[in-house]
Amino acid sequence: MRRIFNALLMAAILTMMAACGNTHKAKGLVEDYIEQHYQGEKIDIQNFGKLDSTTRVSPQAINNMRQEIGKEAKWKKADYKKATPVLRYIMVSYKVNDKEIHQTFYLTSTLDGVVAFKNN
């Protein structure tokens, strides 16, 4: 019985460590993306939400998000990654000239690039 408990405890700890690593990777990916593609004033990132996943974002929704952001002059033409069947997403809040902005970034399931993002 003790061996089973120890095995379950170790599995839980490893799962938590992997989740923390993925969140850190997602935050870094979004920060790098903003730094490379935002052409406006200086951004002060305030907060990141929880990293989660979804299968409920259609190809049309992705295209709509890309088109809407593309209309904004402050964003350089993006080099988006191809969508994966499961997308990871994280919300970010940042300030630009005392104006708070909230966005959701959709990432590939392997956290190797941004698929799309939207203003909330």
Cut 0.95: pTM above it: no
Residue 1 lies in a domain: no
Residues of the domain holding 106: 26-119
**What is the total count of domains within the chain?**
1
Taking only the tens of pLDDT, the chain with its 120 residues reads 666 644 443 444 444 444 458 999 999 999 999 999 999 888 899 999 999 999 999 999 999 999 999 999 899 888 899 999 999 999 999 999 889 999 999 999 999 999 999 999
Length of the chain: 120
Residue 12 lies in a domain: no
- Rounded to the nearest 10 degrees, how much is the dihedral formed by the CA atoms of 85, 106, 39, 47? -160
Residue 9 lies in a domain: no
CB 115 within 8 A of CB 83: yes
Residue 13 lies in a domain: no
- Assigned token pair, 8: 């379950």
